[in-house]
Structure formats: structure tokens, C-alpha cells
Amino acid sequence: MKVGVFDSGVGGLTVVKSLLEQKLFKEIIYFGDTARVPYGVKDKNTIIRYAVEALEFFKNFDIDILVIACNTVSAYALERLVQEADIPVVGVINPGAIALQNAFEDRDTNILVIGTKATVKSGNYETLLKQEGYKNITSIPTGLFVPIVEEGIFEGEVLDATMRYYFKDVKNIDAVILGCTHFPLIEKKISGYFGGAKCIHSGDAIVEYLQKNYNCDKNFERTSVQFFASDNPDGLKNVAREWLGDLLHE
Amino acid sequence: MKVGVFDSGVGGLTVVKSLLEQKLFKEIIYFGDTARVPYGVKDKNTIIRYAVEALEFFKNFDIDILVIACNTVSAYALERLVQEADIPVVGVINPGAIALQNAFEDRDTNILVIGTKATVKSGNYETLLKQEGYKNITSIPTGLFVPIVEEGIFEGEVLDATMRYYFKDVKNIDAVILGCTHFPLIEKKISGYFGGAKCIHSGDAIVEYLQKNYNCDKNFERTSVQFFASDNPDGLKNVAREWLGDLLHE
């Protein structure tokens, strides 16, 4: 099977990492819209327009399924993409909410949802989890984590100060939904801030979801990955090498 | 006279502020490319392409002169814009270098240039100042200041930690070139970090430059300003009201 992975930039590589680790596909086509990243501070209509344009790009590759790695795109454009595409399109939000349910049966679990301004504003995670009976959900936009991670900062006082800034009024968290593909890179620090809270990671969540719903369980020995970017493709490939390392067969 | 002001996003409003304070123009047309902001992490060719597209936008307005408020665009696309436009196009980098010379005759002045990754990589300020005989120039990309300011953070521990992160190896600075339109909003903090160093501000620099080179000294009683954005124009107008306040006659 051949999967397309769409992201607003480099963040979706954390999802590719999970797909590679679990050997779900024979071929991965990754497209990051680095010329227009970030999406998370932009308007709903703009996000939808960009996502529909990305769909056109994937028509070049005869993919079997499209994974929307970006939480912001999943929140705003998934419905539209599902309508327009003639292949299955899967976002990360529904899988994330299901992963949380699998990990925490107790409906009194204290849940923190973090993401970009746009993702949190959409309220998608919150809506899904409330439908399932979860009562204690706090959502906080933590947009600065994105440029901090892109700056290559994964620990230290800038990150510590930013966590205190965002989380100063939040206590006793059991589970954190990492509602942005950049956040797995600082997962340990976020978990540590809340005394070891479990973090729900879009990449792991979507792997579970694909295995269960799309028969993606082939354990391909070798996955070929092609990377495309709307700006500075070499930059994207460098980040891919850094984040994915030995998982890439070059 | 009618001026166009182009910026990658909201940052150029600090330049509009200087233009309004000095009453240089009868009319200001501001365009922020908020759908594709930030430019400062993007590739030279992408930045040029976006800037040329913005030029098309301004053709709708019969402007007399175009001011490029964005340092990144000034660094990479000014030459091309000057070629393509049939009106004068002025960037902020040359005016900034001249403002520094006016403030510091001593060629041993310790100068710090800060800006986005792309602006610093261009080396434009450094080249201009070295041509004028300045010897002690340090340049540091401080891209995180942009999202920090856009998050509405102008003081406090996130900013303090970020300044220490970027400036840990820098001492004895006399002058700081604020090579990004967002930075005037944290000018006091940056100046304070270096014990009261003088900051060179693109807005003030370009006012001096326009007065000297383009006869812009009309002291118009009233300036009408129109704001345009490629994404979320209402968001831009809100920031404009917040930053420019009473300078706007609505």
C-alpha cells in the first residue's frame, strides 16, 4: 500500500516516524507545505484552501490512502478533503481521541489538550471526548512550542519558562493530548512537567487506527519514502534525516 | 503623497506607526501577507516570488512610493522589486545602516544585528556597515522573538529566558540594529539587557530616509490608512488598533 502524508511543514515527520517503526506501508509520499507554514495561526478558510491544493499535489502519485498528519488541517479541512478525494482520507484527531479512550477508561481522568491556536479553537478533541463521557478537559493553545521545536530547542530554560507560562494555572493532569505534530519532540519534558502524565501522540494513535480500520498490518520489510516540500525541500530532507535517522533506507 | 507599505504580516505596523507619528503621507495602503507569514524562515526564491506577487496587489492603488517594511523582503527581494516597479521602492536595510552611522561616528562601536534567520543569513546590514568602516559587528538570528511578540508577550520570563539563550555569548554592545519589524515592541527589554544600548528601529530609520531622499516632509494633518491582509483581515485590523491606537482616525 502507498500512503500520502500531508503536513503544513516538517512536524508531520513525527507521524512518518511512527509509520516507519510499525512498517505499515510499502511506500510513503510526504508533502510539507513549508512555503506557507505555519497553518495554526491562520483562518479556517485559508487552511481549507491550502489543504485542497495539497490534495491536487497527491493526485500525481496514485496513493491508496491519505493521512493528514497536521492537527490543524485535520480539525478544519478533513470533512472537505473526504468529500473531494476519491481515496480514504484520515486525520489525526479522531484516532487521538480513541487512543485516549483506550488508555484511560475512567471518565474522571484529568485531560489536557494542547495544540496550535486554530486546533484548540476548533474544540474538536474536546467535543469528541465529551461525547464519550469525559468531564475534566482543559484545552490550552501552546503555539510557541512549534517555533521552539523548529529552532532545535528540546530542553532548557526557554522551554521550561514557556511551559510555566502556558501551564501556570493547570494542575493534576493525568493525560496530555499532544495535538500538534511538533510536540512529540518535547514529550518527555511535557510529561515531566505534569509529574509523568501520559502523552497521547498523533503518530502512535494513527498507527493503531490504521491497523484497526484499514487493514494496515503488513510489516513491510522496507518502506520507500519520498519527501516533497513547497519551499526548501533540502531543508525538509535534512530534518527528516535528523529525526528519522536509521529508519530511512537511502 | 500616497505610500504603499508591504510586510509579510503584522510586524510592519511598527513602521506605519513611525510614518503616522511624523505625518509623512496623506494616504497609507498597508498590505500584510498574513496567509504566508512568516517569510524569515523561508527560501530566497520563495521570498522573491511572494514579494513580486505583492507588487501586483499594489498596482490596484496608484501609489507614489512603496515601502518594504519587512527586513527579510528588503534583504532578498528589493533589487527585483526595484527592477519590476515603475515607482520608487524603498527597503528598510539601507536606511537602518544610515541611521546607525548618524548615531555612532566611532568605527569601533560594538554593533549587534538581530533579525530572522533569512535576514541575518543575507548579511546585508553587515556588508553595508563594513563598507563604512565599522569593524565590530556581531549578527545573531533571533527568530523566536517574532512568535513571542505575536503571542502578545512583551516582558516576563519567556522573553528573559529567550534573550539569555540568544545573547549568552554577547557582551559590551553599544548599538543594536532591530532587523525585524516585530522587535521594536520589545525594544526596551533588549536595550535593557545590554545595559541601555541604543536600538536602531526600522520605522524611525525609514522616516529619516524618506525625509532626506524623497521630500516626504509634508506634515499632513490627517493620514488615511487602509489595511489589507491575505488572511484574516479583521485580525490585522485588531492588531493595528492595539498598536497604533489614537494615531488612527477612524
Question: B170: Cβ–Cβ under 8 A, 6 or more apart, which residues?
Answer: B112, B138, B140, B194
Same domain, B136 and B214: no
Residue with cell 507599505: B5
Residue type, position B67, single letter: V
Q: Assign B211 a pLDDT band (cuts: 50, 70, 90).
A: very high
| E-strand stretches of A53-208 | 65-68, 89-90, 111-115, 137-141, 175-179, 198-201
User: Do residue B51 and residue B106 come from a single domain?
Assistant: no
- Interface pTM, i.e. ipTM: 0.92
Percent above pLDDT 90 for chain A: 95
Q: What is the mean pLDDT of chain A?
A: 96
Order of all β-strands in the sheet with A224-229: A89-90, A65-68, A2-7, A27-32, A224-229
Cβ-Cβ contacts under 8 Å between A and B: the total is 65
Hey, is the C-beta of B108 within 8 angstroms of any chain A C-beta? no
Residue B135 has pLDDT above 80, yes or no: yes
Q: Exposed, middle or buried, B79 (CB in 10 Å: 0-12/13-18/19+)?
A: exposed
User: Are B197 and B209 part of one and the same domain?
Assistant: no
Residue B217, pLDDT above cutoff 90: no
Please indicate, yes or no, whether residues B118 and B192 belong to a single structural domain of this protein: yes
Q: Are residues B39 and B129 in the same domain?
A: no
The per-residue pLDDT for range B176-192, each reduced to its tens digit, is 999 999 999 999 999 99
Q: Do B147 and A144 touch (CB under 8 A)?
A: yes
Same domain as A105, residue A61: no
- Give the tens place of pLDDT for each residue, A208-237: 999 999 988 777 888 999 999 999 999 999
* A114 and A194 inside one domain: yes
* Cis ω before B38 (30° cut-off from 0): yes
Q: Which amino acid is at A49?
A: R
**Sorting pLDDT into bands at 50, 70 and 90, what band is B221?**
confident
Q: The whole model's pTM is what?
A: 0.94
Same domain, A114 and A195: yes
- Cell 512555503: give the residue: A35
Is the pLDDT confidence value at A175 over 70? Answer: yes
Of the pLDDT bands very low, low, confident and very high (cuts 50, 70, 90), residue B250 is low
State the Cα–Cα distance between residues A185 and A131, nearest whole angstrom: 30
d(CA B5, CA B30): 5
Question: Considering only alpha carbons, which residue of chain A is nearest residue B35?
Answer: A42
Catalytic residue among B10, B51, B54, B70: B70
pLDDT band at B223 (very low <50, low <70, confident <90, very high): very high
Question: In angstroms, rounded to a whole number, what is the distance separating the alpha carbons of residues A149 and A151?
Answer: 5
Give the SS3 label for residue A114.
strand
Instruction: Kindly indicate the confidence band of residue A189, based on its pLDDT and cuts at 50, 70 and 90.
Output: very high
Q: Do B153 and A161 make contact, defined as CB atoms within 8 angstroms?
A: no
**B106 plus B196 within the same structural domain:** yes
Range with the poorest average pLDDT among A72-76, A159-163, A194-198, B148-152: B148-152
Domain end: B165, B186, B201, which one? B201
Q: Domain containing B85: what range?
A: 2-91+204-247
Q: What percent of chain A has pLDDT over 70?
A: 100
Domain count, chain A: 2
Dump pLDDT digits (tens) for A81-110. 999 999 999 999 999 999 999 999 999 999
Asked if the model's pLDDT at residue A3 lies above 70, the reply is: yes
Contacts of B161 in chain A (CB under 8 A): 157-158, 160-162
- pLDDT confidence tier of residue A250, bands split at 50, 70 and 90: low
Longest dimension (CA), chain A: 48
* Angle A235-B71-A165 from CA coordinates, rounded to 5°: 70
Looking at residues B102-106, what average pLDDT do you find? 98
User: pLDDT tens digit string along A20-78?
Assistant: 999 999 999 999 999 999 999 999 999 999 999 999 999 999 999 999 999 999 999 99
B180 is catalytic: yes
Residue B66 confidence (pLDDT) above 80: yes
Q: How far is B94 from chain A (nearest CA, A)?
A: 27
CATH code: domain of residue B13: 3.40.50.1860
Q: Does the pLDDT of residue B218 top 80, yes or no?
A: no
